[in-house]
A and B are shown apart, each in its own frame.
Chain A
């Protein structure tokens, strides 16, 4: 298992476009990838609705977790997308 903490820096939070980009990318990895938010809430990173239903606003810190053959690469790739604000900055 590989884990990393990231912060959402997009002005509008995890809305439709970043959620789309993230799930698309997550779908390219074989590992199971989970996004953990506060209060034990978690969502499958390959599910756009799952992500959106976490209701992540700007400034929220989440934990990315992956388990599988490409777990490290998966987490690092997705973490980078968060850091870059999904190309919206």
Chain B
């Protein structure tokens, strides 16, 4: 090798999903913006322009052929059909034929003709009632974009070109891009944009591979094929690492592999403590891509199904049918295991591109979650109808987010009853025994837990918001982020008192915040009697491994000491010592 010693470069971002990976960089470029083009052409240029169009079509066809060939192995039948459909558009009179006509008869430039035809088709597809067909407008746009890029002699980015394991580098990854992804080849992600709740972050957690997101402009320094190390714990991406660094990370990777081998024994099956108590561990989910083979055997069910993603990765309010199909699929995938579906939780930091919410000075204290659903009842009823209809296909439970008053709960339940009555008169089946619960994430619910417990079937503690509202800390604000801590005695007492109040009424309590997957918190939650622990899939095995070393009697001793402490620091120290 060349003796010249290049110095490594380091890029930092937000680390998602712990772990270390070595790999080569694979750059996924976003489709470049269109180069400007003339609208009209001269009449005597028609032949020439048509030739340009023909060659762009030929290039697009041969690319699609290649994708179809590959996709048969890696993508499965359903996606292959969609790409075959895209291919046939290129021979379709209503698409390609129409484009040619616009060039021939109206002297439009091929680019303008493509645009015109796509706009026309988009308008037609948007009016359709059938959700499946409506979605196909994206295929029309996709194939048009491919054709356009060849007309302008740009290459069309394509993840199917990724044919060996690599670390994927991108500005951002959208669901329509990641469906093309052959997961066997992805070692990790580094993205320019995004935070912990973006599509890429969630995908990486569900695949159990590390990612560095929101790394910003410096990712431009990464070249295709560069040697990379990514460290998902520190949020670090090292480009062309020095030998010392490589050595250090080799050791870290080996240690990680040894640990994960030990963990793999705990991956499947239920969790037990050392004294034989079974603990129900569930997972948080929100996107179809998170589903994978064998997943169902690893968890008790879904403790939190976030419906936001259905609403966020689209350009319109999802219809009842679109939602129904999505909920039904999750319920069927989980084969009768419980799935807690949370109604739309937007506002605060979560927004929808097609629905402008008024700007508020305190969004986290403003119009969000259930408040929004109770205001926009049409949307709320559509969602409830879709969930109820899907409930006939598995074991669904409905959960309302950020309830703060009993009236909100009663109103939401009354609307649910109204939707049920409608379904009954239409003879549409649904689960008559479906449980209804609320998120416990604001102090008022903790204070009135005994009252709420009489009117719900269950609670699920959202620790992220509960900490924020109990300690008055905005965790996005760096200046106060150090105050954000679920080991604060005030938070622990809140959680404990809620669980006891619910149990007195014979109701169960789950937890779907980050704390449920934290091995340090395990003895406390066990001692409190938390019924269902719902976490990111990557935490499951670790938490099972942790529980097997715990007993209820020792954990209760720890809890009683901790509940008597003054500060989070004291609690952390006690919990840390207990862990050793």
Q: Which residues of A contact B (CB under 8 A)?
A: 12-17, 19-20, 23, 43-44, 46-50, 52-53, 55, 57
Contact = CB atoms under 8 A, between A and B. Distances in A.
A53 B88 contact: no
Contacts of A57: 129-130
17 contacts: A13-B130, A13-B133, A14-B133, A16-B82, A17-B81, A20-B84, A20-B88, A23-B88, A47-B92, A47-B94, A47-B97, A48-B94, A49-B92, A49-B140, A52-B133, A52-B136, A55-B129
B249 interface: no
A52 B134 CA distance: 9
Given A49-B121, A49-B140, A12 B94 contact: no
B85 A20 contact: yes
A12 to B, nearest CB: 6
B94 A53 contact: yes
Contacts, number: 58
Contacts of B82: 16
B89 interface: yes
A44 B81 contact: no
A61 B124 CA distance: 20
B124 A53 contact: yes
A57 to B, nearest CB: 6
A14 B97 CA distance: 22
A50 B88 contact: no
Contacts of A52: 125, 133, 136
A15 B89 CA distance: 14
Given A16-B85, A47-B97, A49-B140, 13 more contacts: A13-B130, A16-B82, A17-B81, A19-B85, A20-B85, A46-B93, A48-B92, A49-B89, A49-B121, A50-B94, A53-B121, A53-B125, A55-B127
A8 B405 CA distance: 50
B132 interface: yes
B133 A55 contact: yes
A86 to B, nearest CB: 12
Contacts of A48: 85, 88-89, 92, 94
Contacts of B94: 43-44, 47-50, 53
Nearest to A13: B130
Contacts of B133: 13-15, 52, 55
B364 interface: no
A16 B92 contact: no
Interface string B70-81: 000000000001
Contacts of A44: 93-94
A50 B97 CA distance: 12
Contacts of A12: 132
B248 to A, nearest CB: 51
Shortest 7 CB-CB contacts between residues of A and residues of B: A49-B94, A55-B128, A47-B94, A50-B94, A16-B85, A53-B124, A47-B93
Interface in B121-165: 121, 124-125, 127-130, 132-133, 136, 140
A76 to B, nearest CB: 23
Residue with the highest number of chain B CB atoms closer than 10 Å, among A12, A13, A20, A55:
A55
B120 to A, nearest CB: 10
B95 interface: yes
A12 B130 CA distance: 9
A14 B68 CA distance: 22
Contacts of A23: 88, 92
A41 to B, nearest CB: 10
Contacts of B124: 53
Contacts of A53: 94, 121, 124-125, 128
B107 to A, nearest CB: 24
A16 B81 contact: yes
B130 A55 contact: yes
Nearest to B93: A47
Contacts of B132: 12-13, 15
Interface in B91-115: 92-95, 97
Nearest to A57: B130
A85 B130 CA distance: 18
Nearest to A15: B132
Contacts of B81: 16-17, 20
A46 B82 CA distance: 18
Contact of A50 (B85, B93, B125): B93
Contacts of B125: 52-53
Contacts of A15: 130, 132-133
A57 B81 CA distance: 19
Contacts of B88: 20, 23, 48
A41 B365 CA distance: 51
A19 B97 CA distance: 17
A48 B89 CA distance: 7
A43 B81 CA distance: 22
B146 to A, nearest CB: 16
A16 B92 CA distance: 13
B381 to A, nearest CB: 23
Contacts of A19: 85
Nearest to A50: B94
Nearest to B124: A53
Contact of A49 (B84, B95, B127, B129): B95
A56 to B, nearest CB: 8
A52 B132 CA distance: 10
A53 B132 CA distance: 12
A50 B140 CA distance: 12
A13 B140 CA distance: 19
A13 B82 CA distance: 16
Nearest to B129: A55
Nearest to B97: A47
A59 to B, nearest CB: 12
A57 B128 CA distance: 10
Contacts of A14: 133
A11 B129 CA distance: 15
A43 B88 CA distance: 16
Nearest to A55: B128
A46 B89 CA distance: 11
